[in-house]
Structure 1
Amino acid sequence: MYAHTLPKVKICLAIQLYCQSSTSMALANTAFFSSSFALRRSRVSGLGFVPQLSPCEPLTVLPVRYKCSEPALAFSSKKNILHASTDGLNAVDSTSLKFDRDADYVPMPIVLIDQDSDSDATIVQLSFGDRLGALIDTMKALKDLGLDVSKGTVATEGSVKQTKLFITRLDTGRKVEDPDMLERIRLTIINNLLKYHPESSAQLAMGEAFGIKAPEKKLDVDIATHVQVKEDGPKRSLLYIETADRPGLLVEIIKVIADINIDVESAEIDTEGLVAKDKFHVSYRGAALNTSLSQVLVNCLRYYLRRPETDIDSY
């Protein structure tokens, strides 16, 4: 009796293992095929829909059907495991999950000063991954500069929290126009970022300037510096500058521009890690810069930015 039963059990178990292996391979191939349509930042707990067979259940292989209107893939940075999800099958909203990251991962610190988007206020946008707090100390430091934070907004884009502060002068209620004050705003915010998030100093040029921790890798100024002047209508031109960041950079740039008798109408000052990426709307006597004047401006800025130790009057 037992001699006739044992082979059947082995056959059933072998069929089960073969079926599960084949189904898993099919699902994996489906997931890779889906990846050609779209990639989404989402995490799931696992496949979780492989059919299970009991040891002696009749063998019936059915096609696996599921919605694939929004296929998604997510990879773990620590394990080579592929997770796939589709709508209705273990799908989880991406904002409620995070990617696995190394313990020493430090997000990119970004401070953006926008003078164009709002006619009544200077907008300062600050992001440092999802590590920013309420920024109460930062707003207090801005108030000590004679400024008022009229309102603020917080938005989450992926895993990055972006905070916007709308700043005006306490005495006039108007936006900040003084380049020196704009630079003080920038340095005050970065200083507070370094104070409460000292790990950011490794990615900020100000880390060394404020005596926190110098970046391990420094930019080659000659390679990092790019200056361009583009058309922006008949009455103004767009000056784009990208260079290695340092304290006082904004004031120095505007002084060089002013020395050539070029007017700065508005600016966007972007501090992204070790790099400063600034945009200025400039004009000359109420008109856009011609080709010759644009070249003079570019040459002066390149000469000065690539040699920060050079006396500004020497060009």
Structure 2
Amino acid sequence: MAVAMAACSLGLHFSPDNTSRAFEKITLLKPSSICDATKLCYITHKTRLSSSGITIIPRATTVTGTVEDGNQGEADTIPTPVVIIDQDSDPDATVVEITFGDRLGALLDTMNALKNLGLNVVKANVYLDSSGKHNKFCITKADSGRKVEEPELLEAIRLTILNNMIQYHPESSGQLALGAAFGLVSPKEQVDVEIATHITISDDGPNRSLLLVETADRPGLLVDLVKIITDINISVESGEFDTEGLLAKAKFHVNYKDKALIKPLQQVVVNSLRYFLRRPSTEESSF
């Protein structure tokens, strides 16, 4: 069976009016069987994951494990999972790209799981390069035939892919933030939010700015980022969301009243995001 992976780049189209209602984090419930893995099960809540008891690593790193095939001592380097959900490259579809070295198959289980979310996979292709096998899907909403724009559904796509990756490639759970709660193997190291969080804003023409956010990954992060941005009346035109191992990288094209953000407003956005990202909390009910 084929699986889905972890580094995501998503394109979004939002305005403050469309996101004025409260967003809540999406958290997966671990399936009780392999058959259940293709059906994403999630709940919403407003808690955040804890950063206590963590080991500092500034970027996602590869992990090695022992291959138990009779050759003791032989090291098997586990590649970093990468999932990219891209809204910018195709005007008519959401593009999902999944990479996990050369370990992925045709990902039929992942495509079926995405269909269970009310999505159609309209095109798929595979290509190889030095980083491994890249599986690309073009996805549209089944009811409208259009690309996905809702942040909750984009996050559900991301978590569905990560859930399938963990179920069918359990060795990937040691490289993913979700592995701590839903994988067979928890990550040996986690990203320190204080060290890993980087936020920059620059002009991207006269009518919009480019917001870049890099931080420790966790369930519901995409939805939470959009909520923080739109709560201060900033419009999110489009964007990408990448999950690379334990890190998440977001790129948003934003504007304020159809204009690029002025310096004081840029600082407000940076301060708001940094305050939010550096103060995670958790409860047992989160899991």
Which TM-score applies when normalising by structure 2? 0.71
Specify which of 100, 104, 108 is matched with residue 132 of structure 1: 104
Structure 2: state its 5+ residue gaps.
1-72, 283-287
Cross-structure match for 2:258: 286
Cross-structure match for 1:305: 277
Question: Whole-Å Cα distance in 2 between the matches of residues 110 and 157 of structure 1?
Answer: 14
1:197-247 residue CA offsets vs partner (Å, 9 max, x unmatched) = 000111100111324321001111100000111110111110000000000
Question: Whole-Å Cα distance in 1 between the matches of residues 249 and 172 of structure 2?
Answer: 18
Q: Is the 8 A contact 1:206 1:247 kept in 2?
A: yes
Runs of 4+ in 1 over 4 A off after TM superposition: none
Question: Whole-Å Cα distance in 2 between the matches of residues 131 and 168 of structure 1?
Answer: 26
Cross-structure match for 2:240: 268
Q: Which has the higher contact order (CA 8 A, sep 6+)?
A: 2
Question: Whole-Å Cα distance in 2 between the matches of residues 176 and 304 of structure 1?
Answer: 26
Question: Whole-Å Cα distance in 2 between the matches of residues 271 and 149 of structure 1?
Answer: 21
Cross-structure match for 2:147: 175
SS of equivalent to 1:229: strand
Q: Is the 8 A contact 2:170 2:183 kept in 1?
A: no
Cross-structure match for 2:37: none
Cross-structure match for 1:58: none
Question: Among the aligned pairs, what percent are the same residue?
Answer: 62
1:103-139 residue CA offsets vs partner (Å, 9 max, x unmatched) = 3310010011111111000011100000001100000
1:140-190 residue CA offsets vs partner (Å, 9 max, x unmatched) = 000000000100111100250011110000001000000000000000001
- Superposition RMSD in Å: 1.4
SS of equivalent to 1:180: helix
SS of equivalent to 1:288: coil
Question: Whole-Å Cα distance in 1 between the matches of residues 175 and 200 of structure 2?
Answer: 25
Which TM-score applies when normalising by structure 1? 0.65
Question: Whole-Å Cα distance in 1 between the matches of residues 154 and 184 of structure 2?
Answer: 23
Amino acid aligned to 1:271:
T
Once the two structures are superposed, the pairs formed by residues 140-155 of structure 1 within 5 Å of their partners are 140-155=112-127
1:226-280 residue CA offsets vs partner (Å, 9 max, x unmatched) = 0111110111110000000000000000000010010111110100000001100
Q: Give the structure with the larger helix fraction.
A: 1
Question: Whole-Å Cα distance in 1 between the matches of residues 246 and 232 of structure 2?
Answer: 28
Q: Which one has a bigger Cα radius of gyration?
A: 1
**Deviates further, 156-165 or 136-145:** 156-165
Q: Does 1:115 align with 2:119?
A: no
Q: Is the 8 A contact 1:204 1:273 kept in 2?
A: yes
Q: Does 1:227 align with 2:210?
A: no
Q: Give the structure with the larger strand fraction.
A: 2
Amino acid aligned to 2:224:
E
Q: Is the 8 A contact 1:238 1:281 kept in 2?
A: yes
Cross-structure match for 2:10: none
Amino acid aligned to 1:244:
A
